[in-house]
Amino acid sequence: MTQATVQSEQSMTTAKADSLTAGLAPSAKNASELPKEILLKWLRDMQLIREFENRTMQAYQQAKIGGFCHIYTGQEAVAVGTIGCVNHDDPVVTAYRDHGHALARGMTPEACMAEMFGKVTGCAKGKGGSMHMFDRRNWLFGGHGIVSAQTPMGAGFAFATKYEHEVLGKTVDGGEAKKKVTLCYMGDGALDQGAFHEAQNMASLWGLPVIYILENNGYSMGTSINRHTANHENLIDRAKGYGMTGVQIDGLDIMNIYNEFKPIVDQCREESRPAFIDLKTYRYQGHSMSDPQKYRTKDEVDQYKDKDSIAKLASDLMEMGHLSEDDWKSMQKEIRDEVRAAIDAAEAADAPEDSELFTDVYANPEKNLSPTAEYRHGTKNPLM
Amino acid sequence: MTTLPMIDTDIHPAIVENPELPDFVAEHELPSRDGDRVIQFREALREAMSEEMRRDKRVFLLGEEVAEYNGAYKVSQGMLDEFGPERIIDTPISENGFAGMSISAAMMGLRPIVEFMSWSFSFVAADPILNNAPKMLYMSGGQFGCPVVFRGNDGAGGQLASTHSWCVEALYANVPGLKMAIPSNPYDAKGLLKTAILDPDPVFFLESERMLGDKAHVPEEEYYIPFGRARVAREGDAITLVSFGRPVNFCLDAAEKLAEEGIDVEVLDMRTIRPLDIDSIIESVKKTNQVLVVDQSWPFASIASEVVTQICERCFDWLDAPPQRLNTEDVPTPYAKGLEYNYLPNPDRIYDAVRSMVNA
Ligand SMILES: Cc1ncc(C[n+]2csc(CCOP(=O)(O)OP(=O)(O)O)c2C)c(N)n1
Ligand SMILES: [Mg+2]
């Protein structure tokens, strides 16, 4: 027990030691007042996700990645912008379209790619795959494959942080109690699950500091939002019906996300209240890697590509004098190299030993748990 | 007596390493089962939860009517007064929601106890309890465990008919990653529930509404019963009856009557289904050479099917006759009193089955 505590304490504090803000959200009211380094980091993170995802698609087509694989391009500003508004030890949980959140949280491209390649160096040792990204050190609690399964869990993380603050009186790593906010991401398809309504009801009833971030990309697989949810133009009224703050935000402009989202984070943290954010965004690729996209036109996709969030931030930064064309080019090149290196490393890494099949089933493996298998303790996770 | 150190504030999402487990003692070293501190099954459950909640502030109880109503079946009576509303939490009727919440609270290092008013109501929470809790450790590659206890009434109450009489053991025990305990008496209920709360894995703890009022001596001191250790509830050499939960008591009733007719049956109370103490079953079968598994779930792909399979795989040569199973009848649960009685395993059916297998 004590050994484990020490270990987690160390990893929590060292994980993002290189981060510009030492893991703390910036305090500026307006994104334009943020230090240049933070704005450039956003651009870098968004471009990293873009490049990573483009290479993920290639690798998938080369059959290096199996299973279902959901690409995040188009939505980069959402993960980077919202995660940029919280502290590093605020819990984050999301659905299966999770590569962007993992990278924005600080998971290395190598751990993320290796997971999809099914390698031991993957964030879950190759046991979770694309839809189940977990990173304890970076307070990422999944990657969940069942639509809306993560929404009651979001309330549960908020419950736990509130409990530690109010009942235990200490933080998870044994320090002074802090007020935390949980970010729980969801697709518009998750709006329609009963679990989400139960979660909102309890979060509001019990004053749980969780923010539901609806990544409203207009489609649940091939079903457009007007065909899958009632009164879809007025979703924030639902939140208000539960007594929660509800705000609609343009999710294509990261500076705007910061300006609108940051005050909500601060308020939820301070007042221990839930909120619901309808973040308008768009996905460039099909639902998963096997989607012929008969349900939307190329024109529609192109219209959104014209409003690309990365191009917008890059040009804003140039206008502000924070970035030159050359800087931008060399940043893109650096990222290309980084992702290529991640792919090479993932490729070179070992597949899990067959014996890994029977580890991590139980934290306390006992005799006779199975008639056919011998469960063992897991080998060390590369991220821990 | 086992005393564990006090834990009050130390929580972290790292619960999977070095789980704190009690030093389990041999069966004969446990406090005596005989004595005059006679309490009800429900009180034994309450005592187990309260002792662990006093020791470890990470433990809390949530469920429908557990606090102000004092528990739909009075299991948590008085706990609100002792522990307050922060730790004894009344929930809305949202099993999917609060079971899902408990999972993430457990991933964070808390120790939730979730009370289902009945396991019959757990199906609306199937996704969190089956798809998340037992798989979290595995799919996160060992990063996040899920130390949660789900507990509640399992099996037929009194004439509650089809929707309210589920025995979930066969359905749920199919899933790797979870553990399942099913006590048959107040003494074991306390010792097993305390172990369940300490265990770092998700534990499905099955009680029975029909047993909550059962009374027996339960020691006041703390003790922990290990998982995977069956108890010989009655010794005999004519045949082995393997059972778990409420039907163990039916086996003991039938055994009483059979003994009067010169048939000494051995009754094994499995106490946990995962892990399943197949070693004790084999040991008994080697002595009796005949076995009947008494199981309150439906027969098709039941716990009895599993036990019989394992017996055939592991000690076929020691059997004098095919192993038999006695399950709940393979129909939905009826309402009428007589029908319900005949539908369930009961002492008469067990008596008849043994008489047909053993020549006195
Ligand atoms: C409970 C459940 N039903 C169906 C599916 C299959 N499925 C996976 S993603 C998806 C669409 C969800 O769309 P949305 O929530 O909008 O997220 P997006 O893909 O747009 O990010 C469906 C139907 C599932 N994973 N879980
Ligand atoms: Mg969508």
* CA atoms of A382 and A286, how far apart (whole Å): 32
For a pocket test of ligand 1, which of A147, A235, A290 has the largest count of ligand atoms closer than 8 A to its C-beta?
A147
Of the candidates A110, A358, A9, A361, the one whose C-alpha atom is nearest the C-alpha of residue B14 is A9
Which B positions 139-158 lie with beta carbon below 8 A of chain A?
Answer: 139-145, 147
- Determine the pLDDT at residue B77: 98
ipTM confidence: 0.94
- Determine the pLDDT at residue A50: 98
Asked if the model's pLDDT at residue B356 lies above 50, the reply is: yes
Cα A14 to chain centroid distance, Å, stands at: 20
The reply to whether B28 belongs to the active site is no
**A interface mutation test: which of B61, B95, B104, B314 has the most A CBs within 10 A?**
B104
What does the mean pLDDT of chain A come to?
A: 92
Asked if A134 lies within 8 A of B144 by C-beta distance, the reply is yes
Asked if the model's pLDDT at residue B318 lies above 70, the reply is: yes
Provide, as residue numbers in chain B, all residues whose Cβ is less than 8 Å from the Cβ of A195. 96-97, 100, 127
Q: Tell me: the pLDDT tens digits for A89-107?
A: 899 999 999 999 999 999 9
Beta bridge pairs of residue A276: A212, A246
For residue B15, what pLDDT band results from cuts at 50, 70 and 90? low
Backbone angles phi, psi at A316, to 5 degrees: -60, -45
Higher pLDDT, B102 or B21: B102
Q: Tell me: the pLDDT tens digits for A328-374?
A: 999 999 999 999 999 999 999 999 999 999 999 999 999 999 999 99
Alpha helices in A86-170 (DSSP H): 99-105, 109-116, 150-163
Alpha helices in chain B (DSSP H): 41-55, 79-83, 95-107, 126, 136-139, 169-172, 186-198, 247-260, 278-288, 303-315, 337-343, 347-357
- Determine the pLDDT at residue B13: 52
B38-40/B179-181 β-pairing: unpaired
- Determine the pLDDT at residue B157: 86
* CA atoms of A311 and A314, how far apart (whole Å): 5
Ligand 1, atom nearest to A189 Cα: 15
The reply to whether B329 belongs to the active site is no
- Determine the pLDDT at residue A41: 96
Asked if the model's pLDDT at residue A174 lies above 50, the reply is: yes
B310 Cβ contact partners less than 8 Å away, ≥ 6 residues apart: A371, B276, B278, B281
**How would DSSP label each residue in B159-195?**
S-TGGG----HHHHTTSTT-EEE--SSHHHHHHHHHH
Amino acid at A305: K
Does the bond joining A35 to the residue before it have cis omega, within 30 degrees of 0? Answer: no
Q: Tell me: the pLDDT tens digits for B268-284?
A: 999 999 999 999 999 99
For residue A326, what pLDDT band results from cuts at 50, 70 and 90? very high
Mean pLDDT of B227-254: 98
Q: Tell me: the pLDDT tens digits for A138-151?
A: 999 999 999 999 99
- The residue whose CA has the least distance to atom 23 of ligand 1 is A221
The token pair that represents B283 in the structure block = 């040991």
Mean pLDDT of A222-230: 97
For a pocket test of ligand 1, which of A53, A184, A221 has the largest count of ligand atoms closer than 8 A to its C-beta?
A221
CA distance A368 to chain B (A): 5
The token pair that represents A24 in the structure block = 């703390």
Asked if A156 lies within 8 A of B102 by C-beta distance, the reply is yes
Residue A254 C-alpha to ligand 1 middle, in angstroms?
25
Q: Which helix (H) or strand (E) holds B237?
A: none
Which B positions 266-325 lie with beta carbon below 8 A of chain A?
Answer: 274-279, 306, 309-310, 313
Q: Is the CB of A188 under 6 A from ligand 1?
A: yes
**What's the whole-model pTM score?**
0.95
Ligand 1, atom nearest to A193 Cα: 1
* CA atoms of A255 and A317, how far apart (whole Å): 10
Asked if the model's pLDDT at residue A6 lies above 50, the reply is: no
CA distances (Å), B192 to each of A60, A239, A249, B241, in order? 48, 42, 51, 21
Mean pLDDT of B66-77: 97
The token pair that represents B193 in the structure block = 């529930």
Q: With contact defined as beta carbons under 8 Å apart, do A170 and A163 qualify?
A: no
* CA atoms of B278 and A17, how far apart (whole Å): 51
Asked if B279 lies within 8 A of A368 by C-beta distance, the reply is yes
* CA atoms of A251 and B229, how far apart (whole Å): 57
- For chain A, what is the total number of helices (H) and then of strands (E)? 13, 9
Q: With contact defined as beta carbons under 8 Å apart, do B293 and B242 qualify?
A: yes
Mean pLDDT of B157-182: 96
Asked if the model's pLDDT at residue B67 lies above 90, the reply is: yes
Alpha helices in A164-253 (DSSP H): 194-205, 225-228, 235-241
Backbone angles phi, psi at A350, to 5 degrees: -80, 145
The token pair that represents B306 in the structure block = 């599993």
What does the mean pLDDT of chain B come to?
A: 95
Angle at A290 between CA A286 and CA A291, to 5 degrees: 40
Of the candidates B149, B92, B102, B110, the one whose C-alpha atom is nearest the C-alpha of residue A155 is B102
- For chain B, what is the total number of helices (H) and then of strands (E)? 12, 14
Of the candidates B124, B202, B135, the one whose C-alpha atom is nearest the C-alpha of residue B166 is B124
Q: Tell me: the pLDDT tens digits for A272-284?
A: 999 999 999 999 9
Domains defined for chain B, CATH in brackets: 37-217 (3.40.50.970), 231-354 (3.40.50.920)
Provide, as residue numbers in chain A, all residues whose Cβ is less than 8 Å from the Cβ of B98. 152, 198, 202
CA distance B305 to chain A (A): 12
- Determine the pLDDT at residue A19: 45
Q: Name which of A7, A122, A149 is nearest B132 (Cβ-Cβ).
A: A149
Mean pLDDT of B109-115: 95
The token pair that represents A235 in the structure block = 């979703």
Backbone angles phi, psi at B125, to 5 degrees: -110, 20
- Determine the pLDDT at residue B21: 86
Of the candidates B118, B127, B107, B113, the one whose C-alpha atom is nearest the C-alpha of residue B49 is B113
- Determine the pLDDT at residue A175: 67
- Determine the pLDDT at residue A3: 35
Which B positions 175-234 lie with beta carbon below 8 A of chain A?
Answer: 176-177, 179, 199-201, 227-228
Asked if the model's pLDDT at residue B9 lies above 90, the reply is: no
Backbone angles phi, psi at B200, to 5 degrees: -80, 0
- Determine the pLDDT at residue B11: 44
Q: Tell me: the pLDDT tens digits for B319-353?
A: 999 999 999 999 999 999 999 999 999 999 999 99
- Determine the pLDDT at residue A325: 98
| Nearest residue in chain A measured CA to CA from B307 | A371
Ligand 1, atom nearest to A225 Cα: 16
Q: Which of B95, B169, B209, B222 is catalytic?
A: B95
Asked if B87 lies within 8 A of A167 by C-beta distance, the reply is yes
Mean pLDDT of B297-311: 98
- Determine the pLDDT at residue A22: 67
Domain boundaries, chain A: 24-352
The third-level CATH classification (topology) of the domain covering A24-352 is Rossmann fold (3.40.50)
| Nearest residue in chain A measured CA to CA from B314 | A371
- Determine the pLDDT at residue A379: 85
Provide, as residue numbers in chain A, all residues whose Cβ is less than 8 Å from the Cβ of B108. 91, 156-157, 160-161, 164, 172
Q: With contact defined as beta carbons under 8 Å apart, do A287 and A227 qualify?
A: no
Q: With contact defined as beta carbons under 8 Å apart, do B98 and B63 qualify?
A: yes
Q: Is the CB of A52 under 6 A from ligand 1?
A: no
CA distances (Å), A295 to each of A225, A232, A301, in order? 12, 18, 11
Q: With contact defined as beta carbons under 8 Å apart, do B311 and B285 qualify?
A: yes
Of the candidates A79, A49, A25, the one whose C-alpha atom is nearest the C-alpha of residue A254 is A79
Q: What is the CA radius of gyration of chain B?
A: 20
- Determine the pLDDT at residue A383: 83
Q: Is the CB of A97 under 6 A from ligand 1?
A: yes
| Nearest residue in chain B measured CA to CA from A200 | B97
- Number of cross-chain residue pairs from A and B with Cβ atoms under 8 Å apart: 228
Amino acid at B167: C
- Determine the pLDDT at residue B16: 58
- Determine the pLDDT at residue B20: 79
Residue A304 C-alpha to ligand 2 middle, in angstroms?
15
- Determine the pLDDT at residue B1: 47
Of the candidates A264, A265, A246, the one whose C-alpha atom is nearest the C-alpha of residue A87 is A265
